[in-house]
Structure 1
Amino acid sequence: MPKPVILCVDDEIAVLESLKAQLKSAFGSEYSYELAENAIDALEMLEEFIEEDIQVLVIVSDWLMPGMKGDELLIRIHQKFPSIVKVMLTGQADEAAIARVKKEANLHSCLYKPWLESELIEIIKSGLKTT
């Protein structure tokens, strides 16, 4: 059986690599850590995981990305997959976007860039407890 997935979405490769390294350091080989550079890729990957019966537990998404912003992405994901834990990562999200995701997508947490690794891990752990 395939490992459950934690999906990270950000348009900056360095951020994605950092997230993956920190998650892997904390959780080891318990999960698969997948990376998407934009919202469209993330949605396509989600569909593929579902088709292959791979469980996606958590999505960590940047807010400010070209094309579709993170708030819209997380709301779309919530409409189709409400059980996925959603975390927004941002250096510049406005409060209205955060409030909208909390209301419309059951946002688990908002993490501000630059984040502390310990804070990221605690947020993911608390999110995993709800799955």
Structure 2
Amino acid sequence: MSKPVILCVDDERIILDSLRTQLTAEFGDAYTYEGAEDAEEALDVISELSDEETSVILIICDWLMPGIKGDELLIRIHQSYPHVIKIMLTGQADEVAIDRAKKQANLYRCLSKPWLESDLLETIRSGLSKL
């Protein structure tokens, strides 16, 4: 059986690398960590993992990305995978987008960039405890 996946979605590679480093340091090999640089890639990753019967259990998603914004991505994911814990990590989301994600995607939390590692990790641990 494959390990559950935490998916990070951000159009900045340095952010994805930083998240992977922090997640690996905190959770080790308990999870598989995947990254996507835009919404389309994220949807492809989720679809491929689903085909392999591998569960994405948590998504950390930026809001301002080329193409599909983070709130719309999380709403799309929620429609097919409502059990996934969704965290938005952004410096630029407006309140309307955050509110829409809370109502339509069951957004768990929204954290601001730059984030405190301790806040992010506590939010992830808290979210995972809801599974």
TM-score category of the 2 structures, normalised to the smaller one: over 0.9
Residue in 1 aligned with 2:113?
A: 113
- Structure 1 position 49, deviation (Å): 0.6
Residue in 2 aligned with 1:52?
A: 52
Q: Does 1:63 align with 2:63?
A: yes
Q: Does 1:88 align with 2:110?
A: no
RMSD: 0.4
Residue in 1 aligned with 2:10?
A: 10
Secondary structure, counterpart of 1:93 in structure 2: coil
- Mapped to 2, the partners of 1:50 and 1:92 lie a distance apart of 30
Secondary structure, counterpart of 1:59 in structure 2: strand
- Structure 1 position 14, deviation (Å): 0.3
Aligned residue type for 1:26: E
Secondary structure, counterpart of 2:111 in structure 1: strand
Secondary structure, counterpart of 1:26 in structure 2: helix
- TM-score normalised to structure 1 length: 0.99
| Runs of 5+ unmatched residues, structure 2 | none
Question: CA-to-partner distance for each residue in 1:50-85, whole Å, 9 max, x for gaps?
Answer: 110001110000000000000000000001100000
- Mapped to 1, the partners of 2:111 and 2:26 lie a distance apart of 17
- Structure 1 position 123, deviation (Å): 0.6
- Mapped to 2, the partners of 1:54 and 1:18 lie a distance apart of 24
- Mapped to 2, the partners of 1:25 and 1:6 lie a distance apart of 14
- Mapped to 2, the partners of 1:17 and 1:86 lie a distance apart of 19
- Structure 1 position 38, deviation (Å): 0.3
Percent identity, please: 60
Secondary structure, counterpart of 1:82 in structure 2: coil
Equivalent pairs, count? 131
- TM-score normalised to structure 2 length: 0.99
